[in-house]
Amino acid sequence: MIYLGNYRDFVTDNLLNHLSTHVGDTVPVWQPDRWSGHPMLDEARERARIGYSDNKHYFQQFNELSIDMKDFKLILPKLPNDDRKVVWWIIKLLPGQMQSMHFDPHLVDCVNPRRYTLFLQDWEPGHIFVYDDKMISNHKCGDLYEWVDPMCYHGVVNIGYNNRYSLQITTFDTDY
């Protein structure tokens, strides 16, 4: 991942208050229907089946279609040199929640995708983000990273005491 700078001004008290007082969409970690129809997705689904198909793990997510975002106007930060189509979502991990190692299924249909992560709070012990064979810790609220490989495997877990928030953004050349 490439550090692009700090966008702390984007992370307002209003945004953090909204996220902390709303649930968002409760999303199952195991979503076999989303992981099919492409060889990379089929392989990822089978890799995850052993450990996750019998588990009932969930995480919280917000996006432009979430009911909890209906009355909230989110203006995304201006990304460097990127005026393409945008898909965004906010991940809210409650203590004990996680997203298993995965890559984002929507990327297989995107042309020239770019992926970004913007941390919405300072790093706390127990907030774990893994991509490929690396981890990011000690990040500050507003730190923005661009993914070198948008299709790399990554996962997140919250074994801390407080909610963990991050904004995920994908930009691409054409509709998917």
Residue-level pLDDT at 176: 46
Among 24-33, 36-45, 141-150, top mean pLDDT goes to: 141-150
Dump pLDDT digits (tens) for 79-107.
876 778 888 999 999 999 988 888 777 77
* DSSP line for 5-70: EE-GGGS-HHHHHHHHH---EEEES--GGGS-SSHHHHHHHHHHHHHHTT---EEEEE-TT-GGGT
Q: Helix or strand or coil: residue 85?
A: strand
Cβ atoms of 16 and 165 within 8 Å: the answer is yes
- Lowest mean pLDDT segment, chosen from 7-11, 105-109, 167-171: 105-109
Over residues 129-153, the mean pLDDT reads 89
Residue-level pLDDT at 56: 79
CA angle 82, 84, 88 (to 5 degrees): 90
Residue 37 above 80 pLDDT?
A: no
Band of residue 175 on the pLDDT scale cut at 50, 70, 90 = low
Residue 39 or 32, more confident: 39
Band of residue 126 on the pLDDT scale cut at 50, 70, 90 = very high
Over residues 127-142, the mean pLDDT reads 92
Residue-level pLDDT at 42: 79
CA angle 150, 72, 122 (to 5 degrees): 55
Residue-level pLDDT at 122: 97
User: Does the reported pTM lie above 0.75?
Assistant: yes
Residue 162 or 46, more confident: 162
Length of the chain: 176
Residue 57 or 22, more confident: 22
